[in-house]
Structure 1
Amino acid sequence: MRIETIRAYRVVQPFVGGTYSMSKGRSAEAFDSLIVAMTADTGLTGWGEMAPLGTFYSPAFAAGARAGVVEIAPHLIGQDPQAPLRIARLMDTVFKGHPYIKSALDMACCDLAARAADVPLVTWLGGRDGEAAELYKVVTHGSAEAMAATAARFVAEGFGRLQVKVGGPVRDDIERVAAVAAAVPKGTVLFCDANAGWTPFQARQFADATRDIDYVFEQPCTTIEECLSVRRSLGKPMVLDESVASLADVLEIHRLGVADGLTLKISRLGGVTRTQQIRDLAVDLGFMITVEDTGGAEIDTAAMAHLSLSTPEERRLHAIAFHEWVTVRTARNAPPVTGRHMGVPPGPGLGIDVEPELLGEPFLDLTRTSI
């Protein structure tokens, strides 16, 4: 089987809830998504997607992804999509760094390979463990009253896991988290996520003032070393997210004992192939795992669901349904969400039936005969 055609689309996906706000005044109104369609000489098509959260969250930006995929795609024409690790190495050879650019291409390869094998991607990634992943909801930055009301509404809707955005002025965030904790029932799982917004000094201030609140501390500072300095005085579990950009990072986090859990972002790691590699090692090292991404709709959420449900259930933290965040549709179906749980779509590969007419005109339309 050989790759015959690669098409790439830009799809802007506005948020259902309006502005998404996080620490340091950072905000976004939409995901600016790159979607890739990869068709083989068998007639099968695989799909991939990546979308950075603005220009401030990761070292990635949407225009860069579009420019980069134009550079990389010609090298993939004629390659066998059933060898995604070989293709990942090829992409690293012809285009150094910038893993986010490669993510949608790799995802499309994995989808295409699993479709060719006539198995769901979750099977191709090692096998399904459990029926569904538990979802969490995000309580974005706002006033203490607004955040408490949002948290109470999510719990009333049946959700038991909340990620509370912190990382702003410390005293204000102490008040916010206290208000959220008071507004939800005991036993609600809280993650306080600073998105690397604090210095170690600020993070320790926050941790000391909130010792009586039950939560998991997520990425308080920018670097692994800074997070380690907070960890040494912390009596709570810690999860790292932004610090996990490579296999080497996971090994260093483990060696230093910085965290109990890791959040693996597909585009930050360069695609499904690299995420699976790192996920499997992290599981063997004893970490709790969340697999998600920086943004997207049905295609990217499906990849997150397949990676989540091929993670051992005892090591899986939770998941998120990004396709429910946005106002546009890209496919006829989506990962099934029932209450606070998300499964994988039925069928081979990602299981997603993408509607090309919903994507607009491709900005890249490359065929084997055109190069």
Structure 2
Amino acid sequence: MQPFVDGRYNMSKGRSAEGFDSLLVSITSNTGLTGWGEMAPLGSFYSAAFAAGARAGIVEIAPHLLGEDPRALTRINRLMDTIFRGHPYIKSALDMACSDLTARAAEVPLVTMLGGQENDMADLYKVVTHGSVEEMIANARRIITEGFHRLQVKVGGKVHDDIERVAAVAGSVPKGTVIFCDANAGWTTYQARQFVDATREIDYTLEQPCVSIDDCLSVRRSLNKPMVLDESVTSLEEMLDIHRKGAADGLTLKISRLGGVTKTRQIRDIAVDLGFMITVEDTGGAEVDTAAMAHLSLSTPEERRLHAIAFHQWVTVRTATNAPPVIGSRMGIPDGPGLGIDVDLALLGTPFFETSH
């Protein structure tokens, strides 16, 4: 378990978590190189994933990978999908470890194999979690004093309370602060339209107001602002459906939700070509997962990149050194081949599962 530095993380509908329950995977080749992967769901309420399920699934899948070439990423993914249907979050850390190992074998940073590094640093945002008006104002002001100018404000609760919260937060931060209002699919279309109508004079981007793509599209038709979808992006097919329907301007791609670095890169590249703005992140994690997010973010064309998040700074437990560097409100990638991180084995304890060829 990786407890949060700032305590409980609150979302709409009373959902909350005390930290990330993280799964770390290592894959070692017959040449002695090791690649690392990480998957950490935000509780069991956020995505169709839970940590105990990931651990059980790894035990089922891992033995089938023995003897395979970890550099054959497409083959590895097809094999995992053949022997274990669905459950992409279970496969995410395995694919990440193979991606790390592949880049290490080539002696290049992973960003090079993901299309090339666009620039040195990605802009970061921080989250203003659900709370009272006073708590959210204080949180937003604290984040601004830390040098950040991009906020994700959690909404998706009682609409009139959310209207008051967002108006108060927007009025308490400097003009020009970038604000995303993220409902985490917490509203009906009726509630979302109430919020949209009452906040027309506030400058923000609306993120995932409702559960389904069609409901979000219905809200977007009356929206005078950009819309980003997150929870709706579960596969290449869903991303293409969003594009066909014109349901969003931007997408948040979460590595574990899509099944790993390989599939995230595929969807990212097609989405960029289709004109979407892109954020690449995950459902949680520390140094390993954040490094993967950084490599994917910085290989996304700068003009199509929205922002990133530094999850390794959210948690109190350190599992690796040479973490993604954060300077002010921007994040880079670690130096070195692959993900560039060095996992501290002494901190991990005894593996819950090991298998070998």
TM-score w.r.t. structure 1 length?
A: 0.96
Given candidates 337, 341, 347, the residue that maps to 2:326 is: 337
- Correspondence for 1:3: none
What amino acid does structure 2 have at the position aligned with 1:214?
A: D
SS in structure 2 at match of 1:17: coil
Equivalent in the alignment of 2:193: 204
Distance of 2:238 and 2:172 partners within structure 1? 37
1:1-371 to structure 2, matched below 5 A, reads 12-368=1-357
Q: Matched residues in 1 for 2:345 and 2:256: separation?
A: 22
Please state how far the C-alpha of 1:306 moved relative to its aligned partner.
0.1
Query: Residue 66 of structure 1 aligns to which amino acid in structure 2?
Result: R
Q: Spell out, residue by residue over 1:200-236, the C-alpha distance to the aligned partner (whole angstroms, 9 max, x if none).
A: 0000000000000000000000000000000000000
For residues 212 and 191 of structure 1, the distance between their equivalents in structure 2, rounded to whole angstroms, comes to 14
Secondary structure of 1:87's aligned partner: helix
SS at 1:289 equivalent: strand
Is contact 2:290–2:312 with CA below 8 Å preserved after alignment? yes
Deviation at 1:49, TM superposition (A): 0.2
Q: Give the % identical residues.
A: 77
SS at match of 1:365: coil
2:230–2:252 Cα contact (<8 Å) kept? yes
Shift of 1:30: 1.1
Describe the SS at the equivalent of 1:130: coil
Provide Cα deviations, 1:10-29, integer angstroms capped at 9, x if missing partner.
xx101111100000000000
Which segments of 5 or more consecutive residues in structure 2 lack a partner in the other structure?
none
| Counterparts of 2:325 and 2:74, CA distance in 1 | 29
Deviation string, structure 1 residues 307-357 (Cα, Å, up to 9, x no partner)? 000000000000000000000010122000000000000000000000111
Superposed CA RMSD in Å reads: 0.5
List runs of 5+ in structure 1 lacking aligned partners: 1-11
* TM-score normalised over the length of structure 2: 1.00
Distance 1:149 1:327 in 2: 22
Distance apart, 1:72 and its partner CA: 0.1
2:114 and 2:240 map into 1 onto residues whose CA distance is 22
Question: Which residue identity lines up with residue 251 of structure 1 in the other structure?
Answer: L
CA contact (8 A) 2:40 2:51 kept: yes
Q: Residues of 2 paired with 1:125 and 1:178: CA distance?
A: 40
The alpha-carbon deviation at position 85 of structure 1 amounts to 1.1
Q: Which runs of 4+ in 1 moved over 4 A?
A: none
